[in-house]
Chain A
Amino acid sequence: MAEIQSYSINFGPQHPAAHGVLRLILEMDGETVVHADPHIGLLHRATEKLAESKPYNQSIGYMDRLDYVSMMCNEHAYVMAIEKLLGVEPPKRAQYIRTMFDEVTRILNHLLWLGAHGLDIGAMTMFLYCFREREDLMDAYEAVSGARMHATYYRPGGVYRDLPNQMPQYKEGKFRKKGKAQRLNKNRQGSLLDFLEDFTQRFPKCVDEYETLLTDNRIWKQRTVDIGVVSPERAIALGFTGPMLRGSGVEWDLRKKQPYAAYDEVSFKIPVGKNGDCYDRYLVRVAELRQSNEIIKQCITWLRANPGPVAVDDHKIIPPARAVMKDKMESLIHHFKLFTEGYVVPPGEVYAAVEQPKGEFGIYLISDGANKPYRVKIRAAGFAHLSAFAEMVKGHMLADVVAMIGTQDIVFGEIDR
């Protein structure tokens, strides 16, 4: 019998399990991966260079489009960097709103991850379950910013506007009978906070549902336990952050260790794994879903009790109200200058990082005193994770490649930038 030589196969860039446009050149020995060479950059849009050509505020929307499943967390890092350079401190209510929406975003991200990861390795139902809950949170996004995904809600100095007092409601029509509209509107009678509170009460039950399907599931465990084991030392050396690092047992979370926004005033725990395999990373993320839910609850209570401004009262960086603008000359000038030229940021440089659902998302900003950033460097968590992909996947079977892509929670918007 002829001896079988190792051979190369091409995986992607258009593959449903590649979570975007990942091209992998896999060198195989039978079904075992000997070497993997990820080719990235197929979604490269030069976001950093684009940001260098525009006034600061015009790039906030680009941040949503980096990691397009954790939109507001990306904005958070960017506006934090600008605020540090400007020396501006947003009001407390804005900090709480940001904290709340960061956690809403974390749930959104982890739900998409859980659904897609489940789908990749054979748990179809997860996808449907997770998207059911995502829908409610998307509605919260829409109610507050007008957009379901790319919100551009955070602004340097605060947030775009206060939380709405009324949730938008479903209307009856040709395709939606009166009874159905009423049923859908049942939890939309009050404000956005009421709507979110209703969600936080329902959500722990939903997480239980996910766990009954997966946590003790024999097939799920066969696909994830002891797959892609990373030791804590190696995870640190490879630049892992977020659940990838915590799954290996390193208790590191920027929300606790280097608190920003209102994270030092809410209580929550950092879930950590033990073995550093795909299964532990799954458990960490599911535990984070529960923790995020608790944080949202605390934020809702605080926001109910403490009305107030949601942005600094400085019209050099925050536009004046439209009504005022129509009959005050100075407001008109402020508005005009802000939207044509933008604001000037003092020279200097800063690195601001947030604990985004995937890990540390950082913005390194250099200003030369102009109305545009001189250099913006986006530090994406997924980039460091994917760079270690070859090492993680070595010696595993071809089918585990898909489990590994899933466990890294890869989104190409942020890796290719």
Chain B
Amino acid sequence: MATVADLIIKIEKRLGTAVTCQIINEQLLVDVAISDLLRVAKFLRDDNALRFSQLIDVCGVDFLHYGLSDWATDSSSSEGFSRGVGPGQYVAEEDIDFPARFAVVYQLLSIKYNHRLRLRCFAPGDTPRVPSVVDLWPAANWYEREAFDLYGILFDGHPDLRRLLTDYGFVGHPFRKDFPLIGEVEMRFDATEQRVVYEPVSIKPRTLVPKVIKHVGHNE
């Protein structure tokens, strides 16, 4: 297994400024712009020194609440749990800027050289559009349908972009960070109407464990 650093050299030599490589936890993350995605992906698959012949995974990521915590203070107080700011409200710990709210992440594997690579592509807007890689890796078909279903990311050129995991007739994209964990509708069988009916949820969202962000060294 070649080292990640060797891999970066190979990729940067051939792709130059089209990609930004970084090593996170000894794994290679390559950022690419939407306009370059198909070209870079095709290159990674076909180049003789890389041969990323297998697409392991495609997933969407929503960075809306990244770095936001629902714990209002760092210091201890006598107020206990009430320091939490409440469900659905967040406090920014620090400003983290992402190029866009949504990203699509591709996990690639080269069986020939035993490499892994993670390709990330930020997609701007509330209904982001990304070119589909189905023509390069047929495995992308369902993964892209899943990302469309759960995040509302549109894949241009996908042959059959239908919902995959959610219910028939589902409204919304449930894995977006602003979609409530309890959902929007609940379902029950109505004995008088003799059919299943959908109603707005009757339960309230609640936070069991508040999200706490601590900085390095705080755990010590």
**Interface SS of chain B: helix, strand, loop or mixed?**
loop
Cβ contact within 8 Å between B57 and A387: no
Cβ contact within 8 Å between B219 and A41: no
Find chain A residues with CB under 8 A from B67 CB: 368-369
Chain B min CB distance to A179 (Å):
51
Q: Which residue of B lies closest to A48 (CB)?
A: B175
Find chain A residues with CB under 8 A from B219 CB: 316, 343-344
Cβ contacts A361-391/B at 8 Å (1 or 0 each): 0101010111110110101000110111001
Cβ contact within 8 Å between B213 and A46: no
Find chain A residues with CB under 8 A from B61 CB: 366, 375
In Å, the complex CA distance between A266 and B93 comes to: 46
Cβ contacts A38-49/B at 8 Å (1 or 0 each): 001100101011
Cβ contact within 8 Å between A44 and B56: no
Interface residues of A in 57-106 (CB under 8 A from B): 58, 84-85
Cβ contact within 8 Å between B139 and A384: yes
Cβ contact within 8 Å between A239 and B137: yes
Please tell me if A159 contacts chain B, counting CB pairs below 8 Å. no
- Size bracket, chain A contacts: 35 or more
- Size bracket, chain B contacts: 35 or more
Cβ contact within 8 Å between B213 and A236: no
Cβ contact within 8 Å between B175 and A369: no
Cβ contact within 8 Å between A369 and B214: yes
Cβ contact within 8 Å between B209 and A237: no
A84-B25, A239-B137 known; A370+B69 contact, CB < 8 A: yes
Q: Which of A257, A342, A344, A416 contacts B209 (CB 8 A)?
A: A342
Find chain A residues with CB under 8 A from B215 CB: 369
Please tell me if B9 contacts chain A, counting CB pairs below 8 Å. no
Cβ contact within 8 Å between A350 and B24: yes
Please tell me if B141 contacts chain A, counting CB pairs below 8 Å. yes
Q: 16 additional contacts, CB 8 Å, given A252-B111, A341-B210, A387-B142? A: A40-B165, A44-B166, A50-B181, A54-B208, A58-B209, A84-B25, A237-B54, A239-B54, A239-B138, A239-B139, A316-B219, A340-B209, A348-B24, A351-B27, A369-B213, A377-B59
